[in-house]
A and B are shown apart, each in its own frame.
Chain A
Amino acid sequence: MIKSLLSWSALSLYTAASIAALYYLLTKNERASRLMLTFVGCGLVLQFMSFGIHLAAFWAYPENRWFLPINNFFGALSYMGFALAAAFFTIEVRRRLGILGAFVLPMAALSLGLAVILADPELAPLAPKLRSYWLNIHPMVLMTSYAAFTNAFGVALALLIQERQIKSRKPTELCYRLPSLDELDALNGRLISITLPILVLGLVMGSVWAYQSTGRAWSWDAKETMSLITAGFYAEFLWLRYVSGKRGRIPVYVSMAGFACMLLTFFGAELCSGRHDFLGGK
C-alpha cells in the first residue's frame, strides 16, 4: 500500500518535473528549472524508499534473500526510471545542461509509468535457474547501460533540433536556449563511448552466466541477437564519429537506430525469446 503510494508519488513528481522542464525550455523561466530539479530530487528519494519496501517484501521469501528484484518487467522498468533520472541529475545538471531535462525526464516518467501502471509487481520466489549472484550483476549492468543510452538519445534529439535550426538559417528563440551544437555533439559522443563498453560487459557477463548454468555461452535467441545488433549500431556510430570524422545528422541517426534496437531488445524480444522469457513474468 505505502509502496504503491510512494511509486505513484514518484511518478507524479517525474511527470511534474517533465512538464516544468518543457516549460523551462520554452520560456527559460528560472523558477521552472528550480522546480524541475526539486521534483526530480524528491522523486528519486521517494522511489528509493519505495524500492526499499519492495525489497523487504521480496526478501520475505528466504530463497530470494540477497537477490535484487530485477527479475521482471516491474523491477527492470522501475530501475530504468530511477537510473535515468539519476543519470540526468549527475550528468546534464552538473554540466549546466539542465535545459535538456525536457528531452530526458519524460522518458524517466514514461519508464516508471509503465512499471507502475502496466507491469505486475508480483512477488514470488525466484525461479531456481535465476538464483545466482549473476542476477545482481548481469541485468543491473545492462539496465544501467540502457539508462545511459536513453540519456544519450535525449541529447541526440536536442542535437538534431539544434542542427536543423542552424541549417535552416532561420534560428528561433529555441536555438539560443539549447546548448551549442558542439556541446551536444560532445556529450552525445561521450555518453555513447562510455556506455558501449558497459553494454558489452553486460553481454559478456550474460554469456558467462549462461555457460556456467547451461554450458552454452551464446544461443542466438531473440534478445541476444537484438542486443548484439544494438551494440553494432552504437559501434558504427563511434566509428563514423571518431574514426572517419563524419559530422551532421547521419551519425546521430545511426545512434538513434541503436536506441530503437535497444528498445526492441528490452520490450520486443520478450515475446519470442527462449532463454530470456522470465522478464515477462513467466
Chain B
Amino acid sequence: MDERRLREVALTPDEYRVIVEQLKRAPNEVELGMLGVLWSEHCSYKSSKALLRRLPSTGPAVLQGPGENAGAVSIGEGWAVVFKIESHNHPSAIEPYQGAATGVGGIIRDVIAMGARPIALLDSLRFGPLPESGRHFEGVVAGIGGYGNCMGIPTVGGEIYFEDCYANNPLVNAMCVGLVRTDQLMRARAEGVGNSILLVGADTGRDGIHGASFASVELDENSSERRPAVQVGNPFLEKCLLEACMDLSHTDAVVAIQDLGAAGLTSAVAECAGRVDGAGARIDVGRVPRRERGMTPYDVMLSESQERMLVVVQRGREREVESIFHAWDLTSAVIGEVTDDGQLTVFDSRDQVARLPVRLLTDGAPMRRLVGVAPEPPLDLVVDALPPLADAGATLLRLLASPNLSSRRGVFRRYDHMVGDATVVPPGGDAAMLRVKGTRLGLAMTADCNARYCHLDPHLGAQLAVAEAARNIIATGARPIAVTDCLNLANPDRPEVYWELEETVAGLSYACRAMELPIVSGNVSLYNDSNGESAIYPTPVVGMVGVIDDYAKRVGAGFRADGDFVLLIGSSHNDLGGSEYLKVEHGYVAGRPPSLDLAREQAVNRVVLAAAQSGYLHSAHDCAEGGMLVALAECSLLGSVGVRCPAIRPESPLRLDAAFFGESPSRYVVSVPSRAMPEMQSLARRHHVELSLLGLTGGDTLEFEGQFKLSLGELRQAWEAMLS
C-alpha cells in the first residue's frame, strides 16, 4: 500500500496490516477512508483508552456513563441532567469563528441525542497573549456567541486564560447541559433488525472531510490548507433540528437518536450499531440528500457537514417521524436499515461500495502502547528568596488588571446568558445556576482548570482542577454531583507528554474518587502542538454540575449588605508556586502547585454547604488565582459593597505576600450577618476548620488599615479595563 495514501487517511503501515489481516483482503478506497477516520486518535482514543478506564464513572445517581452521546445523572423529582464537554481545538486554530461555532453546535447535538433539551452552554478557552492572539480570541468569542445566541441556549459560564503556550494552539472546549425526564432518556442503540435509519437535518456536502484525522495530527505550516476540513455552522438549521427532536417525544416510534459529528455518517452508523451486540447496518449513500453534485460514496461517508442527526425508527412508522421533521422544514431521508450481521454495508444504489465489520470500525484500532517518561522537574521556587511585598494595594491593582484575573464581563455580555428564564445565578461569580422550572431544584455548573499547576505537576494539577470546580459549585450552595472532562494535551508520542497524560488521568481519578464524583462523559484532544514544538500545558478541563434542593437558598459571590462579617474559611500557607502573583509581579512560572489535602478540602466544603443550607451566608466566593485578596476584591466589586479590615500581620512562617496573594486551596471568603457568627464558629469547630475574621463590609473602599485603601472605582477600573 502506498504510504502517501496511508498518510492521507492517517493510518500507519502497521494499522494497515491489521486491517488486511482482519478482513483477509485489502480494503477498497471507501473502506480505507472509513477506517482512517474511525481509527484516528480523535475517534478511537487509541493512545488514551487504556488510561481512561481508570477513571471512576459509576455512582448511585448515574443513569448513563461514558460511551453514549453524553452522560446523564438523576437529580430527583423525575429529572435527569445530561451533559458533556468536547474540544474543537484544531479547527479553531485555523478558522476561529467557524471552529468555535461548530464546536458549540456539535456539543448541543450530543445532548439532544439523549432526548434532553439543552438548557445551558459553557466554554473553556485558552489563547496566547493579547494583542498577538487577538484573531483567535475575537473569532472564537464571536463564533460562540454567533451560534449559541441564535440557538436560544444561554451561555452561562466557562473560563478564559491567556498563556504563551497556547499562541499556536488555542483551546476551545464547549460544554452543554440539558434536562430530560428520566423516563424519556434516549440511548443511541441501533436495536431491532429491519428498523429504518433516517438521516435528518442538513444536506450533506463536501465540508469537513477528514476533520477527525486532521484533529489527530500536529498543526504545521501547511495547516491552513486544511481549512476545507473545518465545517461551517448553520445555527438556524440546528435550532429547527433541536425543536423537531424535542417534538419526537410525542411519538414512541423512535428507537435511537445519534449525532453526526467527527467522522460523519461513518461514525454515527458504526457507533449506533456498535452499542448493540451483533447489530449491523445497511445503508445506501444514493439516498443521502446532498448539497452538491458529483459527490462520491467516499465523500458522503466521510463528510462532516454539520446539523445532521441519525434517527432509528420502528419499521413502518417512518412517515410519523418524517412528518415531525417536515413540520420544521427539515429534510429527512430513510437511508438504510438495521441488520443483525454485525457488518456495516454501504451501497451506492445497487452497487456495494463497502462492507466492514462494525467491531473492526469501532474497536479494531490497535491500542498504542506508549511510554511515559517524567521530564526534568520545573524550575524550583525558593520562596525565601522572593523580596518582601512592597505595596499590597499596588500589587492588587496590577493583578486585577492582569489578563487572567481581569473581569470577563466584556466577554459574557456578548453571550445571551438569560434566555430560557432559568438563570438564577448569572455568570461572573463562581458557578452559574439555573433553576429547573416547575420544581425548586437548582443546577449549578462550572468548567475549571489551572493549567499552570498542571504544567508544574500534572497529577496535583488535575486534583486541584477537580477541587476548584467543586468549590465553585459549593460556593453557590449546591452540592457537586458529577463531572465531565476534556483532556487537552500535546503529542503523546513524546514520552514526556504521555507521562503528563498518565499523571493527569491518575490525578483526576484520585480526586474524583476521594470526592465521590463520577466522570460521566468526556473527550480527549491530543496533538495540541505545532511543528513539533510549542507544546501546550496539559489542560484537563473539569466540567462539573451540582444540585441545590431549593434554589431560594442559593448564594452569590458578591457582598450583599453593609455591616456583615467577612470571614476566611480554611487555612493559608506559603503557596506561591505557580501563582498569578509570581507571574505578574515577578515574571515567572515556577515551583510546586499548592499542596492539596482532600480530607481537609471536604471538611471545608461541608462547613460552607451547611452554612448555606442554614441560610447563614450572605455571600460565598472561592479563593483561587490571585489568592484571598483578589477574591475579597471580587466580592466587593460584584456586590458594589466595600470592606474594611484590620491590618494583616501573619504569624511566621506565613509571609505577608502569601497571606494576601498565595493560592492555598480549600478556602472561601464568605460574608455573614453578625447574628450568624456563633453558629459559624461552632460549625467550623465541629469540622476542625480554621475560620478567621477578615473585616466588616460597608462603604465604597477596600481597606486594610495602615496597609492600603483603594476605592471600588479604582479597583473596578483596573479590573474591567482589559476585556471591556
A, B co-complexed:
no
Chain A interface (Cβ within 8 Å of chain B)?
Answer: none
